[in-house]
């Protein structure tokens, strides 16, 4: 209707409703844990990209077995990850897969067709085979005992070498009648999203529906039979399969094989690809349950399937008629009534109604066997990678062909070093701080060669810290002498010096910490000694690991009782001579020493920073600065591209934004003042600005000079 007023003709023009209730939602503060450790693990399953996880999401993504101390996947790094997660600290987990794990689990499902003479059974009026009362066998037509047709089997095949997904072709089949061999036509291909033996235990089932379960409108709209798809998981090939319910809690979802089919009842696509892609897995939509995808996707070889169905339809069409015929039971009926076809014309049947033929089980939805298609009851000649399968509700077909590879310490360290090399590549994805939000990396007992590579973590990024240990987990139940640990610490300090904090300001390395010593797990889960970096990791997780991004002042461990070691027992070395401590401190080492006759504590948690009069020598201050760098990056992401604000307005808004993100962050330990300034160069360019964040911090108090003054009691008078 036009809203234009043409003349004074009496009328009401309704303009509808204007929504004036909406508001611009301003970005909230950065809410990720300040202490967000990066942990590398071997895992039962899961993606190979790093992901921030905790609790149920961690177990779902990587499998509970990954974090079982008795599983093959569990190692010293897993212990750290599980320990920190147990403190309620989200962690950035990255799954590593051994180089020899092989390909991703996969399968191609083929229809295997053998052209041959099919017994021409005598039928009753409902399409069932007539029984010979003398032999109790099915009656064979005496005049025409056989007709041209096909035997069919469904065969699953997997590959163990690298192939391009979606490139399967027809191939020689598994059956032969002595003179003619069968041909396999690919129908469905599936491939696991990732490597690992777990994915050999993920599969699907496809169920043929009976007529009572089919709304005829589905057939009329698409000229295709509907099926039900289910996804199954199992622990191993000896375990009972368990159905993996859809996002909507359904054990199975209806689909058909025809391209881009539309369900007329819902007006949504329900072809196999669409149903598979949208019903079980969700990694992007926050409104739906989070379900990680086990597959790369599904490939339907529709042209191949149509070729196979066309061959069968070419023989079956001659037996489909709307004319009444007399049958063995003395009643009449047309064969059309036995099947799902809607036309009688042979050419039209072959061209348009192939998808109304159930080539997988040889029967219509009414349970009637086709004339020229039978499911072979002979055992096919298959290979190691082939297996005969069935499309049925409770007979899932599982992928195969993958493995876990060499899950051992040598391979693990090789893979960790490879990942750490990315942190000195300015073009690597790990340099993107919007996605890679980790803040700290703990050495859980790597070899010296790998420890040195861990230093790369802080080379290019200014929002990360690395906590190294002088212990090598390969020592098992032993600890190396303090002299060896000091030598390792010196080697690590030398390597860390290659990553200065600022070449612009001439600030040496500060975001590195080296911890000496080991302890034992109090729960007895391992007899191997655990580096004391584990203690620092758990204490920091409790204090700095809250999901709201705020430190907990009650968990501060800069003094007793917070700095007393309760996370491990029997710290070693148990005694460090007083004369050696200044040397160790000068080397940048953190150590534990007796607090009383039963307990140990950290007398000071310093960084590797050379000047111990500086506030940058404090672990806590350095961790706060890492967060300030994250806030600065977050601020830039929110204000880059701004054009509407003037210089002063822009500066004020940016400062307010930074203050919003600083609110209650550090348990009132620091005074932090952000400022936006424009240098002469900024003024000339017009597109740049300087954000300066000043942090006022206290020096770490580690030295006490005690004096005892003796006076007379009378002096009090």
DSSP string, 38-104: EEEEE-SS--SS-EEE-HHHHHHHH-GGGG-TTSTT--HHHHHHHHHHHTT--EEEEEE--TTS-SP
- Mean pLDDT calculated for residue range 115-126: 96
End-to-end CA, the chain = 103
Of 347, 382, 398, which one is at a domain's C-terminal end? 398
pLDDT at 2: 65
- Mean pLDDT calculated for residue range 275-303: 90
231 and 185 in a single domain? The answer is: yes
612 and 559 in a single domain? The answer is: yes
pLDDT at 703: 95
132 and 258 in a single domain? The answer is: yes
Query: What percentage of the chain exceeds 90 in pLDDT?
Result: 87
Write out pLDDT tens, residues 535-585. Answer: 999 999 999 999 999 999 999 999 999 999 999 999 999 999 999 999 999
| Whether the predicted pLDDT of 1 surpasses 60 | no
What is the DSSP secondary-structure string of 617-629? GBHHHHHHHHHHH
Residue 716 lies in a domain: no
- Mean pLDDT calculated for residue range 230-247: 94
Of 581, 603, 622, which one is at a domain's C-terminal end? 622
Q: Which of 277-291, 411-425, 617-631, 697-711 is least confident? A: 277-291
DSSP 34: S
pLDDT at 56: 87
Write out pLDDT tens, residues 310-344. Answer: 999 999 999 999 999 999 999 999 999 999 999 99
244 and 379 in a single domain? The answer is: yes
Q: In the beta sheet, which residues pair with residue 152?
A: 113, 375
Write out pLDDT tens, residues 507-534. Answer: 999 999 999 999 999 999 999 999 999 9
Residue 258 lies in a domain: yes
Of 354, 380, 398, which one is at a domain's C-terminal end? 398
285 and 196 in a single domain? The answer is: yes
Residue 182 lies in a domain: yes
SS3 for 549-580 is: CCCCHHHCCCCCCCCECCCCEEEECCCCCCCC
pLDDT at 178: 87
Of 580, 713, 552, 636, the C-alpha closest to 35 is 552
Cα(591)–Cα(368) distance, rounded to whole angstroms? 80
Tokens 């203050």 — which residue?
Answer: 659
> How many beta carbons lie within 10 A of that of residue 274, not counting itself?
16
- Mean pLDDT calculated for residue range 457-467: 97
Cα(679)–Cα(688) distance, rounded to whole angstroms? 9
Q: Which residues of 640-650 are buried (b: 16+ CB within 10 A; e: fewer)?
A: eeeeeeeeeeb
Cα(536)–Cα(545) distance, rounded to whole angstroms? 12
Residue 634 lies in a domain: no
Q: State the pairing for strand pair 465-469/242-244.
A: unpaired
386 and 492 in a single domain? The answer is: no
Residue 192 lies in a domain: yes
Domain count of the chain? 2
| Whether the predicted pLDDT of 25 surpasses 80 | no
Residue 121 lies in a domain: yes
Domain that holds residue 498: 429-622
Residue 120 lies in a domain: yes
**Is there a contact between 466 and 514 (Cβ–Cβ < 8 Å)?**
no
366 and 314 in a single domain? The answer is: yes
Tokens of 443: 């050495």
Q: In the beta sheet, which residues pair with residue 693?
A: 674
- Phi, psi at 396, each rounded to 5°: -65, 150
- Mean pLDDT calculated for residue range 271-285: 92
Write out pLDDT tens, residues 342-396. Answer: 999 889 999 999 999 999 999 999 999 999 999 999 888 889 999 999 999 989 9
> How many beta carbons lie within 10 A of that of residue 369, not counting itself?
18
358 and 466 in a single domain? The answer is: no
Coil, helix or strand for 590?
strand
Tokens 């391009």 — which residue?
Answer: 164
202 and 305 in a single domain? The answer is: yes
> How many beta carbons lie within 10 A of that of residue 701, not counting itself?
9
Residue 284 lies in a domain: yes
Sign of dihedral through CA atoms 527, 532, 538, 541? negative
Q: Which residues of 227-236 are buried (b: 16+ CB within 10 A; e: fewer)?
A: bbbbbbbbee
Average pLDDT score over the chain: 95
Tokens of 219: 């057939």
Cα(508)–Cα(501) distance, rounded to whole angstroms? 5
Q: Is the peptide bond before 573 cis (omega within 30 degrees of 0)?
A: yes
Write out pLDDT tens, residues 678-693. Answer: 999 999 999 999 999 9
Write out pLDDT tens, residues 164-220. Answer: 999 999 999 999 998 999 999 999 999 999 999 999 999 999 999 998 888 888 888
369 and 484 in a single domain? The answer is: no
User: What is this structure's pTM?
Assistant: 0.90
- Mean pLDDT calculated for residue range 422-448: 97
Q: Is the peptide bond before 500 cis (omega within 30 degrees of 0)?
A: no
345 and 487 in a single domain? The answer is: no
248 and 305 in a single domain? The answer is: yes
């Amino acid at each position: 209707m036009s809203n234009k007023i043409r003349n004074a003709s009496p009328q009401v023009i309704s303009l509808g409703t204007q929504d004036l209730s909406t508001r611009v939602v301003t970005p909230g503060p950065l809410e990720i844990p300040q202490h967000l450790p990066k942990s590398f693990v071997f895992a039962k399953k899961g993606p190979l990209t790093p992901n921030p996880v905790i609790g149920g999401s961690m177990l779902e993504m990587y499998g509970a077995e990954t974090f079982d101390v008795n599983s093959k996947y569990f190692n010293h790094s897993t212990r750290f990850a599980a320990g920190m997660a147990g403190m309620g600290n989200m962690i950035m987990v990255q799954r590593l897969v051994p180089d020899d794990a092989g390909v991703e689990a996969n399968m191609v499902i083929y229809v295997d067709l053998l052209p041959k003479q099919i017994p021409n059974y005598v039928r009753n009026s409902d399409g069932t085979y007539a029984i010979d009362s003398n032999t109790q066998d099915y009656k064979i037509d005496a005049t025409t005992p056989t007709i041209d047709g096909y035997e069919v089997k469904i065969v699953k095949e997997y590959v163990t070498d690298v192939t391009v997904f979606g490139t399967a072709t027809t191939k020689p089949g598994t059956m032969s009648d002595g003179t003619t061999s069968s041909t396999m036509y690919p129908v469905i291909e599936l491939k696991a999203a990732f490597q690992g033996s777990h994915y050999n235990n993920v599969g699907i089932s496809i169920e043929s529906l009976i007529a009572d379960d089919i709304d005829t409108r589905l057939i009329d709209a698409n000229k295709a039979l509907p099926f039900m798809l289910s996804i199954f998981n199992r622990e191993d090939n000896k375990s009972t399969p368990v159905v993996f319910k859809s996002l909507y809690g359904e054990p199975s979802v209806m689909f058909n094989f025809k391209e881009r089919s539309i369900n007329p009842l819902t007006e949504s696509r329900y072809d196999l690809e669409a149903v598979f892609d949208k019903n079980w897995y969700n990694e992007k939509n926050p409104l739906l349950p989070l379900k990680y995808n086990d597959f790369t996707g599904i490939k339907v070889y529709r042209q191949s399937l149509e070729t196979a169905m066309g061959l069968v339809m070419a023989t079956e069409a001659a037996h489909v008629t709307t004319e009444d015929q007399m049958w063995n039971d003395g009643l009449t009926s047309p064969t059309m009534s036995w099947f799902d076809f809607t036309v009688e014309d042979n050419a039209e049947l072959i061209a348009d109604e192939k998808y109304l033929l159930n080539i997988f089980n040889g029967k219509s939805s009414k349970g009637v066997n086709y004339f020229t298609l039978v499911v072979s009851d002979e055992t096919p000649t298959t290979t190691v990678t082939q297996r005969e399968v069935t499309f049925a509700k409770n007979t899932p077909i599982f992928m195969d062909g993958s493995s876990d590879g060499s899950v051992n310490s040598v391979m693990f360290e090789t893979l960790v070093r490879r990942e750490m090399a990315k942190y000195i590549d300015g073009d690597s994805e790990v340099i993107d701080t919007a996605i890679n939000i980790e803040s700290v990396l703990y050495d859980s007992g790597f070899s010296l060669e790998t420890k040195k590579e861990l230093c790369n973590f802080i080379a290019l990024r200014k929002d990360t810290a690395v906590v190294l240990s002088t212990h090598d987990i390969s020592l098992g139940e032993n600890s190396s002498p303090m002299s060896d640990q000091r030598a390792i610490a010196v080697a690590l300090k030398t390597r860390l010096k290659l990553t200065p904090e600022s070449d612009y300001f001439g600030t040496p390395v500060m975001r590195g910490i080296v911890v000496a010593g080991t302890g034992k797990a109090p729960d007895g889960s391992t007899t191997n000694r655990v580096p004391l970096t584990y203690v620092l990791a758990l204490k920091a997780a409790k204090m700095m690991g809250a999901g709201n991004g705020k430190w907990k002042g009650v968990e501060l461990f800069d003094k007793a009782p917070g700095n007393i070691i309760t996370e491990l027992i029997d710290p070693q070395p148990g005694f460090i001579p007083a004369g050696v401590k200044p040397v160790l401190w000068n080397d940048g080492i953190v150590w534990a020493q007796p607090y009383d006759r039963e307990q140990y504590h950290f007398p000071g948690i310093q960084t590797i920073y050379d000047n111990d009069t500086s506030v940058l020598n404090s672990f806590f201050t350095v961790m706060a600065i890492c967060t300030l760098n994250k806030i600065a990056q977050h601020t830039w992401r929110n204000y880059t591209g701004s054009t509407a604000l003037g210089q002063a307005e822009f500066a004020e808004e940016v400062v307010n934004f930074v203050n919003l993100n600083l609110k209650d962050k550090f348990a009132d330990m620091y005074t932090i003042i952000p400022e936006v300034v424009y240098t002469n160069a900024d003024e000339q360019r017009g597109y740049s600005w300087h954000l300066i964040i000043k942090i006022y911090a206290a020096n770490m108090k580690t030295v006490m000079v005690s004096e005892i003054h003796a006076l007379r009691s009378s002096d009090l008078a």
